[in-house]
Each structure stands twice: as structure tokens, then as C-alpha cells.
Amino acid sequence: MGTRASTATPGRVPLLTVTGLGKSYRRRPVLREVSLQAYPGQVVAVTGENGSGKTTLLRICAGLETADTGAIHRHAAAGYCPQEPALFDLLTPAEHLALFTAGHDDAAAEGRELLASLGVPPRARTLVRDLSGGARQKLSLALALIGQPGLLLLDEPYQGFDHGSYLDFWQHAEAWRSQGRAVVVVTHLLTEPGRADQVLELPKPAQGGPQE
Amino acid sequence: MTARLAAVATAHARILARRRTALLLLALLPLAFYGALYRHSPHAVTVGGVASAFSAGGAAIFSMLPARAVDQRLTLAGYRPAVLIAGRLIVLEAAGLGISLLTATVMIAGTGPAHPGDVFAGVILTGLVAVPLGLALGALLPRELEAVLILIGIVGIQITASPDTTIATLLPFHAARQLLDGAVATSAAFWPQLAAAVAYSTALLGITWAAWRRRAAARRPPVPAARAGDPAPARD
């Protein structure tokens, strides 16, 4: 049974509007009639079983895949953190920052602050391949936050985090919410639903009707 | 644009420089082919020169294919696929040139060909085409194994097929092979071979760009017309 993730906020423009989204892979439906709106200052949690299309939904919202049906409208720059940290194994965190912020000193300084705030020493010479899974995920998250995007699309961003880092993440999410950003978080299991303003539960399309 | 191109080239140069064992093997591979033949075959220079395509093309494949997810993130950060490809091209062609010079120098010292300049030209043209070929295979194919097998097939047929056959003339290293064959016999005209190699490289880079644009680039969703007081639209 799906949940419409739409809490109307009169007078405010949603930073992300997804309407009637559908996607199939080789005739196998993954997403069917998914709709959601994310307003400034909201955290939207996207939950569901394995194979329910959470990652596909976020990739479509980020512009990395196309939907078969439906429409997406974004009203802010998006920062995207994939489920598997997409990083170069043979570069250091600082070198990733230099690559992602090429020619923009302000953004590079912001990236160093972000890394420090997430507990990753930005000037460490350690290559990404030698970092722990949690540290890689933090670097991946920091790269998604560079440029202060208004819309954050985070796909299980705390995979590999220890409990303290997990709590820190939600503190950061609270700060992003208070800054007026919209945060869409994919999570396998939302153990604390109170942390989100909206919850979109995606059923497996084969098991349910429209995912609204 | 320039800063981003420099950033991509710097990143890939660092990555390549940190793979020291791979670099050593890339340099030794064409010499191994040459070394296996140079006392026994008149075609040792041709085989060693064209075999340098295994090194340059293989390095390009492994620079491209595993980086698809990172490149997607970089396009979200504002990079254009052409810049991501050009940054790799600069680094890989430079590395390919180094391998070519080493290979040509050793082969000239070992064989003493009649036209040593043609050995340099033939091996350099091989690298010039092999890097775009590897980039194109990396952009088109889903996994490394498929890409490497096709590279082995193309280079292997180019080495073994008689240069007069239709298949040999259609393959990408025919121009380089003409120069390498001519180095130990009758020298081949350089400029037509250079033109053919440049044309092949350009076509392969066009294919790479089109494929990477499709597979690694981000698509911008439509933004509805702004109303008064709305936040600024996305610029990513």
C-alpha cells in the first residue's frame, strides 16, 4: 500500500515535484504512478522493500535516468549522494574536493569544512581505497553538499556509519531543514519515522497498485 | 572550462601514476611481443609496434569503464562529457607517447631498420589511434571483459591479417602498420598514413562523446515558469 508523500504547504513552491512517475526495466515495472512533493524545510523519507524502486526514483529525480511516464519539476539545484559511494579509489579526499570544485576556491573551502564537520580529515593523504566504508560514505555525502544545493537527494547516505555518525547525520539533516533545504532520503528501514516530515512508502509494483 | 579540463587531467594523471605495476606492464607488453620475434621474424617490428595498441587501448578502457558512476556525479557538478573525455585523452595520449618512444627506441636498437623514422612514426600513430579506440570501447560496452576481448580481437587481427586484405585495410591500425612494414623494406608515404590515423581517431572520439553523453551525462528535468517570489531555478 502506497503513501502519497505530499503535505501541502500553502504559499510555498515545492523544490521537487514528481507526478505520476512510471519506470520499467525490460517490461518489468519498477515504479508505477509515483507522486511526491518536497517543500523547502522538509525531510521526505522514501522507504520500501528491496526492489521497490527507491534508488531508481532518486536517480530519476537527479536526472541520471529517464522515466517512462510522468513528470519531474525541480526548482532548485540538486545535490545527489548515491547508495554506493561513486569515488576514485586512487585519489585522496582532498583530491576529490579539488576535482569536484575545480576553479572555485570558495566551494573548495566549503568542501573542506563539510568534510571536517562529518569527521573526515580533509587534508589526509589516505587514498579512498584505504578509507573505511563509513569514511567513504561521508566523503560521498560531502561531495553532494558542495555548492549548497537547495534540494538534497540522498540514497541511504548513512550506510556504513557507526551509531554516533548516524545520529550526527540526522543532526545535519535537521540543520539543512532549518536552512530551508528540501531533503529526500532513501532509507531501507525508517526506525524513527518522527525524523521525517513526510514518508513515501514504495510497495513492489507487482504487489500493489499505484505508488502515490 | 580550462580549470575543469585541468582538474580532470590532473586527477587521471595521479590515478595513472599511482598504478606503478600497471604502468610497468603497459611499457613492457609491446616489448615482450617484439622480444619474442626479433631474432626469428622479419615482422618483429610490425608486431611490436602494433602490439603497443594493447597497452594504450587497455589503459583507456580501464580509465573509462569503472568511472561511469563518478562521471555521472561530475556531470551533476557541472562537467560536460566532452571535458571528461578530453581530460583522459590528454593524459592517456601522453602516457601512450612515452610507451611509443620506449618501444620504438628498443626496436630500432634491436633490429636496425632501414628507415628508423618510420618506426617512430608507426608506433606513435598506433598510440594515437589506440587511445580513442579504448575510450570508445569503454564508453560503448557495459563491462571491462567485453571491451578487452574486442580490443584483443581488433589488434590481433591487425597483426596477423595480411596487409593487402580488405579486413586489414578497414581496421584502425592499418596506417600505422603500413609505416612499420615500410621501416624494414620500402618506406611508406607518411602524410597519407597520418591523415588516415587522424581521421580514424576523430571518428572514434566522436563515438566516445556520443556514447558517454548518453550513458554518463545528467538530464535536466524541465523547470516550470517561475512565479513571483519563487526560489531560483536549478542551474546544475
ipTM of the shown complex: 0.86
End-to-end CA distance of chain A: 9
Dist. CA B187–CA B13, nearest whole Å = 36
**Does the pLDDT value for residue B114 go beyond 60?**
yes
- Chain B nearest-CA distance from A143, in A, is 9
The pTM is what?
0.87
CA-based angle A40:A44:A49, to the nearest 5? 165
Residue of A65, A72, A74 to mutate, interface with B, max B Cβ within 10 Å: A74
Task: Tell me which residues of chain A, numbers 175 to 204, contact chain B at a CB-CB cutoff of 8 Å.
Answer: none
Flag if B77 and A80 touch (Cβ within 8 Å): no
- Chain A nearest-CA distance from B236, in A, is 5
Does A125 lie at the interface with B, CB-CB under 8 angstroms?
no
In 3D, which of B108, B100, B116, B91 has the Cα closest to residue B182?
A: B116
Tell me the one-letter amino acid at A109.
Answer: A
Residue of B73, B212, B214 to mutate, interface with A, max A Cβ within 10 Å: B73
Q: Could you tell me the strand order of the sheet in which A69-74 lies? A: A28-38, A16-25, A69-74
**Does the pLDDT value for residue A197 go beyond 80?**
yes
Dist. CA A134–CA A160, nearest whole Å = 4
Rg of chain B (C-alpha set): 20
Flag if A75 and B72 touch (Cβ within 8 Å): no
- Domains along the sequence of chain A with CATH: 1-77+149-212 (3.40.50.300)
* Three-class secondary structure of residue A190 per DSSP: coil
**Does the pLDDT value for residue B220 go beyond 70?**
no
**Does the pLDDT value for residue B72 go beyond 90?**
yes
- Chain A nearest-CA distance from B222, in A, is 6
Locate the domains of chain B by residue range. Answer: 2-215
In which band, very low, low, confident or very high, does the pLDDT at A105 lie, cut at 50, 70 and 90? Answer: confident
Q: Which residue of B has its CA nearest to A12?
A: B230
Instruction: Tell me the average pLDDT of chain B.
Output: 91
**Which residues are within 8 A (CB) of B117 and not within 5 positions of it... i.e. 6 or more apart?**
none
**Does the pLDDT value for residue A51 go beyond 90?**
no
Residue with cell 505530499: A6
**Does the pLDDT value for residue A149 go beyond 50?**
yes
Counted residue by residue, chain B has a size of: 236
Distance of CA B203 to the CA centre of its chain: 12
Give A24-43 as a DSSP string: EETTEEEEEEEEEEE-TT-E
**Does the pLDDT value for residue A104 go beyond 70?**
yes
Flag if A73 and B234 touch (Cβ within 8 Å): no
For residue A167, what pLDDT is reported? 86
For residue B141, what pLDDT is reported? 95
**Does the pLDDT value for residue A120 go beyond 90?**
no
Winning range, highest mean pLDDT, from A84-98, B121-135, B212-226: B121-135
For residue B179, what pLDDT is reported? 95
Dist. CA B227–CA B220, nearest whole Å = 20
What average pLDDT does the segment A26-55 reach? 92
Does A107 lie at the interface with B, CB-CB under 8 angstroms?
no
Distance of CA A183 to the CA centre of its chain: 7
Residue with cell 580532470: B8
Interface A-B, measured as beta-carbon pairs within 8 A, has a size of 99
Least-confidence region, from A46-60, A67-81, B193-207, B214-228:
B214-228
For residue A212, what pLDDT is reported? 44
List the grid coordinates of B4: 575543469
Distance of CA B163 to the CA centre of its chain: 22
List the grid coordinates of B80: 560536460
Give B103-166 as a DSSP string: HHHHHHHHH--S-HHHHHHHHHHHHHHHHHHHHHHHHHSSSHHHHHHHHHHHHHHHHHS-TTSH
Higher pLDDT, B77 or B25: B25
Q: Are B122 and B179 in contact (CB under 8 A)?
A: yes
Enumerate the residues of chain A whose CB falls inside 8 A of the CB of residue B231: 13, 15, 40, 75-76, 150
Least-confidence region, from A55-59, A100-104, B136-140:
A100-104
Q: Which residue of B has its CA nearest to A63?
A: B219
